[in-house]
Structure 1
Amino acid sequence: MQAKKFLSLIYVPFLLLFSFGCSDENVAPQFENIVSYDLIGSISKEEVNERFCNNSLIKDFVNFEVEAYKITYMTPNFDGTMVEASGLVLIPQVQGSAKLTSFQHSTLAKSPDPAIDQEDRAPSYLSAENAEIYLSAVLYAANGYLISAPDYIGYGSTGDMFHPYEHAQTTATTSFDMLVATKELTEFLEVNLTDELYLLGYSQGGNSTMALHKYIEENHSSDFTITRSAMGAGAYHKTAVGDYIFNFEGDLGFPLYLYLWVMDTYDKVYLQRGLAYYLNAPYAQEVINGGYFAISNTSPQEVFTEEFIAEINDPESDFNVALADNDIYDWKANAPIKLYHSLEDNLVPYFNSKDAFDAMKARGSTEVLLETYTYNSSVEPDEIHGAGGTKFFSDVISKYFRFGI
């Protein structure tokens, strides 16, 4: 029950506005990036409004019918092997030009327990169970944003693979290659695009968006010019997060699932030690047998081995080097970025966005903004992370992407 309650904070509908709701495959010959594309449906303006119970606050954003495609494309995994990844493309049926937008989704659980596993909520399924995509992404598309939403490796066509959770390099290349494939599909379908590019994502999606923005500016600035990026509640400062979580004394107050997943990812990518190095008995076996969401203890000092905690406190240790390789908070951005974070968020601490804001400003980034949400006692502590997502998706479409504020 605890696992299900916690997971609801990750993927439950975020927006008050966005969160409630009353084909044959074509192999793509001669495409450079697309392996296949599949029209999976059309969504009328009436249907978009119906998904939001014809809420009057939504209607002004619903301007276009939307066509939904699943595409597959080639991209490198964390070990350098090429895999056939998948994602969702939402194309607004505009009369003029659409605005290309990369939409990075938040955490979807991978678990051997079918009651927890969320493979079927990856973007390319366009599942009604994933409100972030079924409602939020579709509404953005109906407002004129052409959505490129990668499933990430480990979901969709790569659902049988390990998901390298918040490994910055893999996240960035997977999202970038999806963006390239999306642009190729629009050219094939003769969809006109503006010269704009928008990026957005919340929680894991915020981390993914920061990684993608950094990757584009450092490696592909001649291919894409980013207009604006919106990032909500991402764990950008991994070394600080590691110190906060693994050195925490007492009951953390929320489950360790996601942090175990990040830890295991960095072990697989960099170190290959196995879970028994990091976790005391019986927790290592719990996770080996039942997955990350089977962990029964929320006290880091009881869960993690003394050897691992000692390593966390050595800045030169191998694991800290791995964490530092995934720090994406301290760099100079050329395109505007707006960070959003709830001050009282204990799942993804606020310092992630504050540290990024301070570091990027100090490096002379062209424009970095920080929106701080506060709730005090108006929202239960374990609901704050989700409440921040509610405000994030609303503020981005109604303010930041429209007016830059």
Structure 2
Amino acid sequence: MQSNKFLRLFTFLLLPVFFFACNNDMEDDLENDFEFQHVVNYEFLDSISTDEISARFGGNNLVSGFVNFDITAHRITYMTQNFDGSEVEASGLVLIPIVKGSAKLTSFQHSTLAKDPNPSIDQEDRAPSYLPENNVEIHLSAALFASNGYMISAPDYIGYGSTGDLFHPYEHAQTTATTSYDMLVAAREYAEFLEVNMRTEGETEVEELHLLGYSQGGNSTMALHKYIEENHSNEFKIIRSAMGAGAYHKTAVGDYIFNFEGELDFSISLYLWVMDTYDKVYLQRGMGYYLKEPFATEVSDNGYFAISNTNPQEIFTDEFIAEVNNPDSEFRAALADNDVHDWRAEAPIKLYHSREDALVPYFNSVDAFENLTANGSEEVLFETYEFGSDVPREDIHGAAGGRFFSDVISRYFASGL
């Protein structure tokens, strides 16, 4: 079986070299004995050596101990459901370590990628399935995890990659969870096709699973963890989940952002995007209900990043702010439907957050830790980062992201600490 696995993998890697001569015959031979149920299309992207991965980190000795395996990169597409119930063909990246034993299946949820009509702002080309060099999460972190033996399933999310022409339902918990879960199922099937051995729980056939993500990826990871345990606990055995700086407590975030008086320390664009997502999913009122002029027209015409004003009281309508503060309102219900901080987790979770984070308030992780623990979750850990004056406040969210990925691979996933 082991020799068959490598034969299939390396035959697959040679497809681009011999494609001109065999005209799909070799690829057809690979598929003849395998019937896909979840993968719609697949494409080999690249093979990446340990030397290349080490070079990406400048030969850093602290990183070298985690660079153990060459990896291969693949793009797959699969069917999933959008927020409106329509079926779409979504895409994602699969990174496979060339291990002699078994790989550790891992769902890697990426952080925010801007969607904007302005090409200088839009970050579609950083979606995972493009194998982007300009996305450090993928080019550095995901590659490092893969080289350490983790098989990476990285969904693009709806709105990127093969669905790049669609609206991205930013931080809509249900869509994020199902899109990521369906990608995992497809990635597992793709691994089976390539005869990659996956680590399972004891003698069972249930694959062990790791989850991680930072910022939007942290929120997505929490939503995915909750979704799997509540709906598909027999499909995967979650070993550990690592979540950094996610906006888990949406009702509290709504209170904070929309009632804030004065200038925020950051652009309000991402919160406009969340607001617009919940309007499209639940309410369909249009931008004019939420924003005063000229802001409503500016956002409608030029996107969320068109507004430089950061004072919520000058941007949002009085009617909308009153609704945010009404516990029985429809928008308040939409926020609550996306709260993922208050439930009981069976598998271990570790939360990471910087106390000084200006973009995603620290209370999100505090509230998640307190509620998950109070609800009797099996194991919830919480690590607080402190940066002080050495790092500008506007840079802390990003700086904490780099520390998060380092701590997860070197400590939490390795030893549970």
TM-score (norm. length: structure 1): 0.93
1:79-115 Cα shifts (integer Å, max 9, x gaps): 1100000000000000000000000000000000000
Contact 1:283 1:296 in 2 (8 A): no
Provide the C-alpha distance between the structure 1 equivalents of 2:35 and 2:404, rounded to a whole number of angstroms: 40
1:240 to 2:237 alignment: no
1:76 to partner: Cα distance: 0.1
1:214 to 2:226 alignment: yes
Partner of 1:163: 168
Provide the C-alpha distance between the structure 2 equivalents of 1:343 and 1:359, rounded to a whole number of angstroms: 18
Partner of 1:109: 114
1:302 to 2:314 alignment: yes
Provide the C-alpha distance between the structure 2 equivalents of 1:240 and 1:132, rounded to a whole number of angstroms: 28
Provide the C-alpha distance between the structure 1 equivalents of 2:399 and 2:50, rounded to a whole number of angstroms: 27
Partner of 1:100: 105
Task: Select which of 178, 183, 199 maps to 1:178.
Answer: 183
Task: Select which of 64, 81, 86 maps to 2:69.
Answer: 64
Q: Which amino acid aligns with 2:177?
A: A
Partner of 1:123: 128
Provide the C-alpha distance between the structure 1 equivalents of 2:402 and 2:98, rounded to a whole number of angstroms: 27
1:265-311 Cα shifts (integer Å, max 9, x gaps): 00000000000000000001111111001112100000000000000
Task: Select which of 368, 371, 374 maps to 2:380.
Answer: 368
Q: Secondary structure at the match of 2:271?
A: helix
Partner of 2:42: 37
Provide the C-alpha distance between the structure 1 equivalents of 2:405 and 2:284, rounded to a whole number of angstroms: 38
Provide the C-alpha distance between the structure 1 equivalents of 2:177 and 2:85, rounded to a whole number of angstroms: 14
Q: Secondary structure at the match of 1:335?
A: coil
Alignment of 1:224-373 (within 5 A): 224-373=236-385
Provide the C-alpha distance between the structure 2 equivalents of 1:78 and 1:218, rounded to a whole number of angstroms: 19
Q: Secondary structure at the match of 2:236?
A: coil
1:377 to 2:395 alignment: no
Q: Secondary structure at the match of 2:328?
A: coil
Provide the C-alpha distance between the structure 1 equivalents of 2:229 and 2:308, rounded to a whole number of angstroms: 42
Aligned residues: 383
Provide the C-alpha distance between the structure 1 equivalents of 2:146 and 2:255, rounded to a whole number of angstroms: 39
1:90 to 2:95 alignment: yes
Provide the C-alpha distance between the structure 2 equivalents of 1:350 and 1:80, rounded to a whole number of angstroms: 34
Q: Which amino acid aligns with 1:94?
A: V
Partner of 2:56: 51
Provide the C-alpha distance between the structure 2 equivalents of 1:335 and 1:30, rounded to a whole number of angstroms: 32
1:379 to partner: Cα distance: 1.1
Q: Which amino acid aligns with 2:109?
A: Q
Aligned-CA RMSD value: 1.1
1:202-235 Cα shifts (integer Å, max 9, x gaps): 0000000000000000000010110000000000
Alignment of 1:387-402 (within 5 A): 387-402=399-414
Q: Secondary structure at the match of 2:263?
A: coil
Partner of 1:78: 83
Q: Taking every aligned residue pair, what percent have the same amino acid on both sides?
A: 70
Provide the C-alpha distance between the structure 2 equivalents of 1:383 and 1:316, rounded to a whole number of angstroms: 37
Q: Secondary structure at the match of 1:357?
A: helix
Q: Secondary structure at the match of 2:359?
A: coil
Provide the C-alpha distance between the structure 1 equivalents of 2:382 and 2:58, rounded to a whole number of angstroms: 32
**Residues 373-382 or 182-191, more deviating:** 373-382
Provide the C-alpha distance between the structure 1 equivalents of 2:162 and 2:387, rounded to a whole number of angstroms: 40
1:30 to partner: Cα distance: 2.8
1:152-171 Cα shifts (integer Å, max 9, x gaps): 00000000000000000000
Higher relative contact order (CA 8 A, sep 6+): 1
Q: Which structure would you say has the larger Rg?
A: 2
TM-score (norm. length: structure 2): 0.91
Q: Secondary structure at the match of 2:365?
A: helix
